Structure 1
């Protein structure tokens, strides 16, 4: 009982939160509801028209009914117009709500901490933004139209039935608790299956996105069968869930109609018995039957639209889970226009997952402003994690990081990240022009001359000049139209343009050929001059001139010093150096 109460309470909260997105458009909502009232009134008038028709035919005075065709045309004109207004009005509200929800969720995605994305698949996040929001739109627009309009129609038709015969109406009303029980049972099944279907859609999107993005790896390693099996397993589960949903809808529909048929049978039995002969004439009985017949269609729609409502509730719940996720902690108040770049790392420790142990353990070192510091070590030693703490992609678990003597947490996030440029080994280019990829985000307001200068400094113009549209050429999805070295140079040009006092180079020359690397190394020397630069490198030959080299092993700082000092120590750095150069 407690579990059921908790579930109902949660569903009500989702309803209430969805309504908060609807209420700003209350004028359109009110206008749509008024239109529904007129629509229901028009429906309620039809049984009375049929009563009059039957009465006139029964009395044999045909001339009296010439006005009825015009009444019918007027009634159905009102019905059609108000139906259009209500459907369009609520659809307008539904699309507005989805527009607002999608904008809010996309904005949320850009503000969520890196830890959230570490445990979430891209496919699932995309599915929630596209598929799940459409389910909410369906619940707000079409489902709400049917729910409100047909509920009003049922009320006025029942009123007409009571007017014609309270006795016969009471017989039909006996079936109401049974129908209500069926709707309640189906609601729970609908919500359960809808949640599972939405999850499977997210899983399918994840597998598709992964297989398509890595299509070359799939081909070269003959992964087609593996990917097909993985997708077919999800596709089969989705297929089964949808069949169960269809079976539930069909069974519920059949049971509902049979229950109503019991009421209809009872009505006809009583109507033809002596009990009703003195209180119901033929014309009134025709009006009652018309109202009762018209009752079946909206009743069926309400039972079936419950599916769309429960889908919307399940989808809304998943969307609100994202909206309720805490964003990156940003409670700093210091706004510095330009820092010098002095960095102090004091006894920091960090872990991604407590069950897997520490990734960084009790690390301390100091970096003077304007110097170059190289961070070396075997793969998995924590190099990229360490530099990722500086722009606060993650917050340390223990210890502190000072920038110009101030704790990183005291800087506003945007202000802190304006002081840092990053060129990583995983180059991310957007499906836009080369120029727009260089002046991305906060750099977009910079003049064209600065963009061209940055492109020249990173030797981007060397290949741009060979393209039909030059620097305004499209790079394709994730830069697919460019080589690895060309993408790397665009990322480096971005760093030139940002001109920040701190520079992080995470294997920044890893994707360059020998000729490109020769150019870039000279450009890097200019770029690094006067900046605090942190360089991650596997090739030790690229960091020999660094002012300070930090050697990491299993998340701990084991050695630090200049290239020659570390060779003289004869420790872990020397082992790494000997291993590379002996090869």
Structure 2
């Protein structure tokens, strides 16, 4: 399994180019952002006021026995706390809301982008990694706005105002109190660098876990068939162990850093008390209220410095996640949907002209393929596994783009068609039918509300699926579970026929439609196929040559090249590739 290669590079704390791009998503909510900045500044101004109020109460009103003044200052303190609570609530809520609406927009944009990518991209990209990008990485971005930038700016502003208030009260006591600050800054920097690496390792481990679990749960039948449970379990334990080790390392650094920071803060408080008490003894200005205020200020001052390390790492992890997401968004592996041709009706003439195609742009799987299918005709593609049959239908629906040549429908290059309009007019029934974990109705319509219930029932009756569907507990509202696990292969295949029929396509493509079912079900499906193909241009792929003997034209493919073209009778008379394939199958049946 391919592992993550993304790493956090040392050096710059943040990548401002990525941040600028990230904030493009904030433009629709710029007024909310400005209000959040205002709340951040207001909060930074409010926080340091409380120690001054306490200092005045102790040094000015208590010694003089001024009860009214003490009540007044107490009222101001209560009002300050109420205002502070309201501002903190508003700031916390707005920053969280701001982060969530932005990641919602990014997630929508990313998923929209995924829908437009070529199938070739999904062939080489682990699904678990894409899930990580669309879920975990984007979730990390919310912290950039709610706990990263806004909180970081607030902490820095709070430090500035705190230092200003401290110098206002007593500059000598301020210098003494902050004498341990270099030691705290150094330990914070070391912690930041260490935790940055471990956070990246955790993110990579999460991505690897997602990829492994998704892939192996999907392929669980293969794991069990080949008795590979223990081997795969050992692989999982190794990946999970790497994930645990990365988390433990981050816990270790936190366990070291925060006690160290507490000790440094305690030393600063001790020095402030010592110097202040010494000043009181020798008759300096510092009173008990000032000393208490400084104890409060030191606690308030050291807290944001301790948190800044977390803020920076949150910001950096957001940058890493942003880089991964933007890398995915910047991928140009999508089909060019520049066509605008969307005819209401098609005749159904299909033409391949000197088509060359390679999945990896080196080894061609189709070589100079040319053939025509006239309106209403049925053409069958036969050949050994790997001959290129499925590639032909993938190209017709533009799941992949050709390297050379041209494919036309009704004389018009398929690249001229609007991609959605093209695929709506081509019904594809694949060998491996995929059903979503939803109702039969939703699996037939795929959420298209323009398809009525009556049309679904008519299509189901035409292809012979109505009886088995209506026998299910909830009929068309029956949930087929993930990948249609509660239905048989034949039932899933019939649903795929109904799905194709309700869209009423002019061109039908059948890929190995009866290769995985028993003879009784095959007869039922053959009847459905005849209904589906009636009046439509049909391209059929089949290993069972008995199913395509009535085709107007049979094209024999071998190693990406057309070897023979003709009717069933004509090809048997040639005694070539097709005759050999037919005789081999006939012997298997007789045997």
Q: Give yes or no for TM over 0.5.
A: yes
Deviations 1:43-91 (A, max 9, x none): 2112212322331487363635333332332222222221111101111
Partner-residue secondary structure (3-state), 2:372: strand
Size of the alignment, in residue pairs?
579
Q: 2:515–2:544: 8 Å Cα contact kept in structure 1?
A: no
Q: How does 1:97-496 map to 2 (within 5 A)?
A: 97-144=102-149, 146-170=151-175, 186-187=191-192, 189-253=194-258, 280-282=285-287, 283-326=289-332, 327-354=334-361, 357-442=363-448, 444-496=449-501
1:93 aligns with 2:98: yes
Aligned counterpart, 2:4: none
Deviations 1:115-153 (A, max 9, x none): 110111222211222222221112221334532333332
Deviation at 1:475, TM superposition (A): 1.6
C-alpha distance in 2 between matches for 1:129 and 1:276: 64
**Counterpart contact for 1:505–1:535, Cα < 8 Å:** yes
Write the distance in 2 (CA, Å) between the matches of 1:549 and 1:276: 108
**How far apart are residue 502 of structure 1 and its match?**
0.9
Change (3 A) 1:319 1:185: farther
**SS of residue paired to 1:67:** helix
Question: Are 1:371 and 1:547, in contact at CA under 8 Å, matched by a contact in 2?
Answer: yes
1:488 offset after TM fit, Å? 0.3
Instruction: Find the partner of 2:558 among 545, 548, 553.
Output: 553
Write the distance in 2 (CA, Å) between the matches of 1:192 and 1:554: 49
1:45 aligns with 2:49: yes
1:29 aligns with 2:37: no
Give yes or no for contact 1:191–1:314 (8 Å, CA) kept in 2: no
Structure 1 distance, partners of 2:584, 2:136, is 52
* 1:541 Cα deviation after fit: 0.9
Tell me what 2:3 maps to. none
Does the 8 A contact of 2:8 with 2:200 survive in 1?
no
Q: What is the distance in 2 between the residues matched to 1:4 and 1:94? A: 22
Which residue of structure 1 aligns with residue 544 of structure 2?
539
Query: Aligned-pair distance for 1:25?
Result: 2.1
SS of corresponding position for 1:337 = coil
Shift of 1:251: 4.3
Deviation at 1:491, TM superposition (A): 0.3
CA drift at 1:351: 1.3
- Work out the CA distance in 1 between the residues paired with 2:47 and 2:482: 54
Over 3 Å counting, the alpha-carbon distance change for 1:180 and 1:559 in structure 2 is: farther
Q: Deviations over 1:488-522 (max 9, x none)?
A: 00101112222211110001122333223223222
Counterpart contact for 2:365–2:559, Cα < 8 Å? yes
Bigger drift between 340-349 and 182-191 goes to 182-191
**Structure 1: segments with no counterpart, 5+ residues:** none
CA distance in structure 2 between the aligned counterparts of 1:146 and 1:390, rounded to whole angstroms: 53
- TM-score, with length taken from structure 1: 0.91
In structure 2, the CA distance between the partners of 1:188 and 1:313, relative to structure 1 (3 Å rule), is farther
Shift of 1:582: 0.8
Which of these residues, 522, 531, 537, is aligned with residue 526 of structure 1?
531
TM-aligned CA distance change 1:194 to 1:559, over 3 Å: farther
Cα distance between partner residues in 1 of 2:156 and 2:14:
24
The CA RMSD measured in Å over matched residues stands at: 2.9
- Do the aligned partners of 1:190 and 1:310 also contact (CA within 8 Å) in 2? no
Describe the SS at the equivalent of 2:502: helix
- What SS class does the counterpart of residue 348 from structure 2 fall into? coil
Judged with a 3 Å threshold, the aligned counterparts in structure 2 of structure 1 residues 517 and 5 are, in CA distance, closer, same or farther, namely: closer
Paired residues of 1:271 and 1:277 also in contact (CA < 8 A): no
In structure 1, what is the equivalent of residue 59 of structure 2? 55
Contact 2:353 2:369 in 1 (8 A): yes
* Cα distance in 2 for residues equivalent to 1:277 and 1:221: 86
**Hey, what's the Cα distance between the residues in 2 that align with 1:141 and 1:183?**
21
